Chains A and B, each alone.
Chain A
Amino acid sequence: MSRRAFRWLVLGAVIVFYAVPMLSMARFAFQRVPVVLLTWDTLFSRWTIEPLVEAVTSREFRRSAFATVRIALLTASVTLFVLMPVLVRARLAGRRLRRVVELSAIIPFVVPAIALVVGVSGIYREWTPWLLRSEYSLVPLYFVTALPFAYRTLDNGLAAIDLRTLLEAAQSLGQRHSGAVVRVILPNMWASVSTTFFLVCTVVLGEFTIASLLLKNTLPLYLAYAQGQDPQGAFGIGLLLTVVSAVFLAVSARVSGRLVGTGVVR
């Protein structure tokens, strides 16, 4: 087999691997034909988006969806706000501090969600019981969960620019250090910042265990619940979320692509 043919074979296998489950989901969610009655004659009949409409207009869905979006946006913002100054400082300070930060950032990989929840909820109960009752109690936990991914993406973005020189150039022109990070560094690593933002949102959108243990009504929990009550609607929402995520990534890639024209491609 030629190399070219092998490449096409691999690409075809990947497409099938992703497309078949998606198409199966779509058929299950939007077609009112039981699978046992599915033939070539019935394949294109009785397609409807009614189950999805019913599901997304339900009060429970809206409540959990909005809560999840709020938590995702807050977690992503907190992650960037906390991590950026730390990583900039670590890059400027030298190898030793960078190693400490790197180690701290990847520790969550080996901490099970249950251990995290048990530990943190004890602290919440002792110091901030009001936070335990709030949906925002998930934000610090999701921050920790998303930390390894966010760290790696942002650190790669910082590695791709001449951080020290850009900061010093901005300072020599009268910009304070913090202002230089916002006005010079962030715009020059827009692609990795936006990727981090979407990555953290994705982690939040897919996280089940922590929310379940803390009894929070997030979208993944609602979907798990809805699969028992309204499987078609739940699958429809699952598919919708996948499409929305794909659109987000496409927009992010397009924005990054446009920035190629300005030299900001990191």
Chain B
Amino acid sequence: MTHVVECRSVSKSFGDTRALINFDLYVGRGELMTLLGPSGCGKSTALRLIAGFDVADAGDILINGTDCRETPANERRIGFVFQNYSLFPHLGVAGNIEFGLRLQGVSRAARRTRVTELLGMVRLQGLEDRYPHQLSGGQQQRVAVARALAIEPQVLLLDEPLSALDATVRREVRTEIRRVLQEANVAAIFVTHDQEEALSISDRVCVMNSGRVEQVGAPREVYARPETRFTAGFVGNTSCLRVTSLGGGRVQLADSGITFFVPHNIAVGESADLLVRPERVTFAESTVSGPAAVIESVIFLGTIDLVTARFDGSSQLITGMYMAGVRTPVVGERVAVQIDATAASVFAR
């Protein structure tokens, strides 16, 4: 596969702060890669280095095979969509979209055609003459995407483009962005700290932490098979159980006598963290066999309820998930915990 973007061992520091450490990333044509991580993990820094707004301390950044270390930002032909819209307030929608085309010396007629085409793509026909302040946040961000795509960029970079939008508009715009990028068949790198956003629109996700890449993979792969404790904890909800191996796949909760079976090879006597997704946990009636627990809280989230229970004689908690409409245990109810441990991740302590 030909890579449109290649970052090889890229590092960047700001004073004593190491923002990016040996960062490797490969993005193919038409692929939507998401950099996912908490604030300050280096994802925006990576994007700014690729765009040419900042200069890497070490490592190589190649765009379509060409080392662009010496290429200034305005010559990289990289589209950039910013968090805070960044539309030029003195220009209308059409003026904003054709800004880059004017610089390329594209004729007036061709510019008109391209503007119409892009407005159709982002579904904003008829708004050519509006000014940015006359548009909603979602509309502004779609114009920003159209403006970035107008120059037919080699790669499109989106730096938390949805974070300034409210939840409903956010879902709508992210679907639009996904559709537009597929239509344009352009390589794109999308930065977000929202795991739901990352999992829902990406071809691949790159999970980052403290300037380093934790894991790169398809959304389902990253969710189902996290390679690091950080990934397991950051992507999706997990319950972290501290256990000690008794051998033969049997483990014991660290602070109680409760034992259960985990199909992982953990050496006898070794301590480990067992990370379990809520959809792999079921709370059965207390008469059913399984570790006993008492329901501590039930959090209603609309389509699901998150139910947390405390193991008997232990301080450890485990969370399960119930779809709306299903009978949910109530706080204080005694239950038997059933864990599908085949899907659990185990990390030695």
CA distance A262 to B95 in the complex (A): 12
**Is residue B103 within 8 Å, beta carbon to beta carbon, of the partner chain?**
yes
Q: Give the nearest-CB partner of A165 in chain B.
A: B86
Task: List CB contacts (< 8 Å) of B138-177 with chain A.
Answer: 147-148, 150-151
Q: Give the nearest-CB partner of A260 in chain B.
A: B133
Q: Give the nearest-CB partner of A264 in chain B.
A: B90
Interface contacts (Cβ under 8 Å), in number, total 76
Residues of B within 8 A of A170 (CB): 88, 99
Is A165 a contact partner of B90 (Cβ separation < 8 A)? no
Q: Give the nearest-CB partner of A162 in chain B.
A: B84
Is B131 a contact partner of A262 (Cβ separation < 8 A)? yes
**Is residue B51 within 8 Å, beta carbon to beta carbon, of the partner chain?**
yes
Residues of A within 8 A of B133 (CB): 263
**Is residue B219 within 8 Å, beta carbon to beta carbon, of the partner chain?**
no
> Given A162, A172, A262, which contacts B73 in the complex, CB threshold below 8 Å?
A172
Task: List CB contacts (< 8 Å) of B39-94 with chain A.
Answer: 51-53, 72-80, 82, 84, 86-90
Is B84 a contact partner of A175 (Cβ separation < 8 A)? no
- Given A174-B104, A175-B103, A263-B133, are A169 and B86 neighbors across the interface (CB < 8 Å)? yes
Is A174 a contact partner of B77 (Cβ separation < 8 A)? yes
CA distance A176 to B147 in the complex (A): 17
**Is residue A74 within 8 Å, beta carbon to beta carbon, of the partner chain?**
no
B21-51: contact bitstring with A at CB < 8 Å (1 yes, 0 no)? 0000000000000000000000000000001
Tell me the smallest distance from the CB of B319 to a CB of chain A, in Å. Answer: 40
Residues of B within 8 A of A187 (CB): 88, 90
Which residue, B72, B133, B150, has most C-beta atoms of chain A within 10 A?
A: B133
Is B103 a contact partner of A174 (Cβ separation < 8 A)? yes
CA distance A184 to B100 in the complex (A): 12
Which residue, A168, A175, A264, has most C-beta atoms of chain B within 10 A?
A: A168
**Is residue B132 within 8 Å, beta carbon to beta carbon, of the partner chain?**
yes
Residues of B within 8 A of A168 (CB): 51, 53, 73, 80, 82, 86
Residues of A within 8 A of B82 (CB): 165, 168-169
Residues of B within 8 A of A173 (CB): 74, 99-100, 103, 147-148, 150-151
Residues of B within 8 A of A169 (CB): 80, 82, 86-88
Is A263 a contact partner of B90 (Cβ separation < 8 A)? yes
Residues of B within 8 A of A171 (CB): 52-53, 72-74
**Is residue A256 within 8 Å, beta carbon to beta carbon, of the partner chain?**
no
A150-165: contact bitstring with B at CB < 8 Å (1 yes, 0 no)? 0000000000011001
Tell me the smallest distance from the CB of B86 to a CB of chain A, in Å. Answer: 4
**Is residue A166 within 8 Å, beta carbon to beta carbon, of the partner chain?**
yes
Tell me the smallest distance from the CB of A175 to a CB of chain B, in Å. Answer: 6
Tell me the smallest distance from the CB of B259 to a CB of chain A, in Å. Answer: 56
CA distance A177 to B72 in the complex (A): 10
Is A188 a contact partner of B88 (Cβ separation < 8 A)? yes
CA distance A261 to B133 in the complex (A): 9
Tell me the smallest distance from the CB of B52 to a CB of chain A, in Å. Answer: 8
- Given A170-B99, A263-B133, are A176 and B88 neighbors across the interface (CB < 8 Å)? no
> Given B79, B86, B89, B147, which contacts A264 in the complex, CB threshold below 8 Å?
B89
Is A175 a contact partner of B74 (Cβ separation < 8 A)? yes
Is A172 a contact partner of B89 (Cβ separation < 8 A)? no
Residues of A within 8 A of B148 (CB): 172-173
CA distance A166 to B89 in the complex (A): 9
Tell me the smallest distance from the CB of B113 to a CB of chain A, in Å. Answer: 18
Residues of A within 8 A of B147 (CB): 173
- Given A170-B99, A172-B51, are A262 and B74 neighbors across the interface (CB < 8 Å)? no
Residues of A within 8 A of B151 (CB): 173-174
CA distance A71 to B99 in the complex (A): 36
CA distance A187 to B100 in the complex (A): 17
Is A165 a contact partner of B84 (Cβ separation < 8 A)? yes
Q: Give the nearest-CB partner of A261 in chain B.
A: B131
Is A176 a contact partner of B74 (Cβ separation < 8 A)? yes
- Given A165-B86, A166-B86, A188-B89, are A172 and B78 neighbors across the interface (CB < 8 Å)? yes
Which residue, A166, A171, A177, A190, has most C-beta atoms of chain B within 10 A?
A: A171
B97-119: contact bitstring with A at CB < 8 Å (1 yes, 0 no)? 00110011000000000000000
Tell me the smallest distance from the CB of A183 to a CB of chain B, in Å. Answer: 8
Residues of B within 8 A of A176 (CB): 72, 74
Tell me the smallest distance from the CB of B136 to a CB of chain A, in Å. Answer: 14
Tell me the smallest distance from the CB of A145 to a CB of chain B, in Å. Answer: 31
Residues of A within 8 A of B103 (CB): 173-175
Tell me the smallest distance from the CB of A163 to a CB of chain B, in Å. Answer: 11
Residues of A within 8 A of B89 (CB): 161, 188, 262-264
Tell me the smallest distance from the CB of B158 to a CB of chain A, in Å. Answer: 12
Is B79 a contact partner of A263 (Cβ separation < 8 A)? no
CA distance A165 to B52 in the complex (A): 13
Give 18 A-B contacts (CB < 8 Å), ordered by A residue. Answer: A162-B84, A162-B86, A165-B82, A165-B84, A166-B86, A168-B82, A169-B82, A171-B72, A171-B73, A172-B78, A172-B148, A173-B74, A173-B150, A174-B100, A188-B88, A263-B90, A263-B132, A264-B89
**New A-B pairs, 7, CB < 8 Å, besides A165-B82, A174-B151:** A169-B80, A169-B87, A170-B99, A174-B104, A176-B74, A262-B89, A263-B89
| Residues of A bordering B, CB below 8 Å | 161-162, 165-166, 168-177, 184, 187-188, 190, 259, 261-264
